[in-house]
Amino acid sequence: MSNEVMALIIIFVFVVGATVVGMIPGMKQKMSLEEWAVGGRSFGRWLNWFIMAGEIYTAFAFLGASGWAYARGGPTFYILGYGALAYLIGYYLLPGIATVGRKHNLLTQPDLIEKLYGSKALGIFTACIGIAFLLPYLQLQLTGLGLIIETCSYGQITRVPAMLIAFTMVALFVYISGLKGVATTAAIKDVIMMVAVVFFGLYLPFHFFGSLGGMFEALEAAKPGFLALPGGTKNLDVSWVMSTLVVTSLGFYMWPHFSANSFSAKNNDVLRHNAVYLPLYQFSLIFPMFIGFTALLVLVPALKTPDMAFMIVVQQVFPGWALGLVGGAGALACMIPAADLLLSTSMLFSRNVYGRTIGQNTSPETMGQIARVVVLILTAIALALAIFLPNMLVNLLLTGYSGVTQFFPMLVLGLWWKKASKLGAFAGLIVGELLVFGLILGKMDPMPFAGLNLNAGFVALLANTVIFVIVSMLTCNTKADQSSSAVIKNS
Amino acid sequence: MSLVKIILTLIPFIWTIGMIPFVNRVKPFVLGLPFLAFWLVAGIIVAFLCIKALYTIDSKNNKEAD
């Protein structure tokens, strides 16, 4: 059998297999909106672990980490740091979110904000910002998937049909099974991904250099200092890594779909227990970096797209079946997070934007139907954007992590600080987001300041927090705020 | 929050963020890894142990409260 056919069959089996498994939960039972969106709040340790862990291994971790290692060197190592810190924050934060969620039957992040501040407008505003950051993220998964399948089929299947086929399948199982479908497929994806990255991540350095240390010695000899900071870059130095670690660890659970996943846990112990073991999963993020570093040493000529380093090096060293394995794993790494993103974006739109404005009197059953139809519409929109305007949303995507991190003061202080006020939240959030956009689109990320290079999100977060606290102190005595905050603070 | 819990919470942040200026070096290699990479990998284990300890303390307290 030729390499292309072999690779394509393997990818096909992976993609179809995951879809079928994902559809099973929804076929067995009829689901209410709560069951569909947050798994009926019934997830025990394992399902919750997989859905939380599965989030890390997206197309970015797979292709991006190896691409960063290939092009940038030392700064890539920040990726090893933020996850464990984020889980430590989650250890305190998620039980807080989930407690309020269970008490008031919340399904989404804007639900929570609306409840905390007793403000419908703030909820709608949060939902709109959330959608603005989730949509490009969804598109990125699509584009990544198209690239992977195109390379793995040696160009036999081009990008557009690949995206069409795979995403019709994602939309289908999200439509039928909701979060349970995402959780079961995430379990399969994690196992396959882990096998693929560990195998290739160790095999390639050993194959070419005899050992891991041998590979790094060779790299240090060829490019002294590339493996420290700022590595292959000019300004991603010590201060950049430090400020970026602050932004990414605080921002991790501010992604609307991550907050919502905590509502799926059966009880708070599930969340705390998982926070203990999730950091260990971070080890797996180092293997794609090994692949990127090996690719830098062995691939000649240099790659135009560093993000393709993983696949090109596998394509050159291994026969077709191996590339099929990587392609299949990579395709799942795009599909499963995309499924979760679709579900969350759909909930934000149907429940928090439509349901709070023109559709105020919609019954829960109708809302469930609408949320499912919105999944299909969003898939179509993301596909159209990925096909016709592949670059339009890049700017928005760049601002993603820095953008969602701006929710942090509003959410955390809203849960635990009695004086947090609606106006303070509005003011802080607006200032934070404007600074993020201004700095990043003005090519000021990282921002040079007194000899440091600070992550733009970090600068915005500081301003956001200061404004939030000052405005809250000034306005916390208004009547509306007191009645709203009482809802939560006494719980 | 007890002092022990505050310290357990701070250690991973100091290790992974606060120590960066002092560990930004390629050599010595540890376990085949450049020093900066080794330090951050070790940080994962440190965080795991700290969260594990927090969880143990909290579980005990919850049981006593029940």
Which residue type occupies A94? L
Is A81 in contact with B40 (Cβ distance < 8 A)? Answer: yes
> Is pLDDT at A106 greater than 80 in this prediction?
yes
What are the CA-CA distances from residue A457 to residues A89, A90, A203, A256, A411 (Å)?
18, 20, 37, 17, 16
For residue A491, pLDDT over 60 is answered with no
Q: Which residues contact A193 (CB under 8 A, 6 or more apart)?
A: A57, A62, A284, A329, A332, A333
Question: Domains plus CATH for chain A?
Answer: 3-395 (1.20.1730.10), 399-491 (no CATH)
Residue A241 DSSP SS3: helix
Residues of chain B contacting A, Cβ within 8 Å: 9, 12-13, 16-17, 20-21, 24-27, 29, 31-37, 40-41, 43-44, 47-48, 50-52, 54-55, 58-59
Q: Which of B9, B10, B51, B66 is most worth mutating to test chain A (most A CB atoms within 10 A of its CB)?
A: B51
Per-residue model confidence as pLDDT tens digits over A341-387:
888 899 899 889 988 888 888 888 888 888 888 998 988 888 888 88
pLDDT value, residue A483: 42
DSSP state of A118: T
A409-447, pLDDT tens digit by residue?
Answer: 999 999 999 889 999 999 999 999 999 988 888 887 788
Q: Could you say which of A74, A84, A238 has the minimum Cβ distance to residue B44?
A: A84
- Write the residue in B12, B26, B47 that is nearest to A228 by C-beta: B26
Q: Which chain B residues are within 8 Å of A245, Cβ to Cβ?
A: 16-17, 20
Cβ contact A242–B52 (<8 Å): no
Report phi then psi at A430, rounded to 5: -65, -45
A88 → chain B, closest CA residue? B51
Residue A92's pLDDT band (cuts 50, 70, 90): very high
Q: Please list, in sequence order, all residues whose beta carbon lies within 8 angstroms of the beta carbon of residue A266, skipping any fewer than 6 positions away.
A: A41, A42, A43, A44, A48
> Would you place residue A489 in the very low, low, confident or very high pLDDT band (cuts 50, 70, 90)?
very low
Residue with tokens 């079946």: A321
Task: Give the dihedral of Cα atoms A25, A27, A32, A35; nearest 10 deg.
Answer: 0
- What DSSP assignment string belongs to A3-61? HHHHHHHHHHHHHHHHHHHHHHHHHHS---HHHHHHGGG-B-HHHHHHHHHTTT-SHII
> Beta A452-454 vs A447-449: how paired, if at all?
antiparallel
Taking only residues 202 to 231 of chain A, the set having a beta carbon closer than 8 angstroms to any beta carbon of chain B reads: 211-213, 216-217, 220, 224-225, 227-229
**Mean pLDDT over residues A129-152, rounded?**
83
Pseudo-torsion of CA A457, A460, A461, A464, nearest 10°?
-150
A405 has pLDDT over 60: yes
Domain holding B33, by residue range, is: 3-65
d(CA A108, CA A123): 10
Q: How far is A296 from chain B (nearest CA, A)?
A: 16
Q: Hey, is the C-beta of A88 within 8 angstroms of any chain B C-beta?
A: yes
Buried residues in A449-483 as b, exposed as e (16+ CB within 10 A): eeeebbbbbbbbbebbbebbbebbeebbeeeebee
Chain B residue numbers touching A74 (CB-CB < 8 A): 24, 34, 36
Query: A81 at the B interface (CB within 8 A)?
Result: yes
How many residues are present in chain A?
491
Q: What is the dihedral of CA A263, A265, A270, A272, to 10 degrees?
A: -10
* Highest-scoring range by mean pLDDT, A60-69, A145-154, A261-270, A344-353: A344-353
Interchain pair A276, B55: CB under 8 A: yes
Please choose, from the candidates A416, A430, A415, A418, the residue with its C-alpha nearest in 3D space to the C-alpha of residue A468. Answer: A430
How many domains does the structure of chain B reveal? Answer: 1
> Using the 8-state DSSP alphabet, how is residue B33 labeled?
B
| End-to-end Cα spacing for chain B | 19
Closest residue by Cα to residue A214 from A303, A294, A119, A100: A294
Preferred mutation among A82, A209, A212, A227 to probe B, highest tally of B CBs within 10 A: A227
Q: Does A272 touch chain B (CB under 8 A)?
A: yes
Q: Per residue in A170-188, is it b (16+ CB within 10 Å) or e — as a string?
A: bbbbbbbbbbbbbbbbbbb
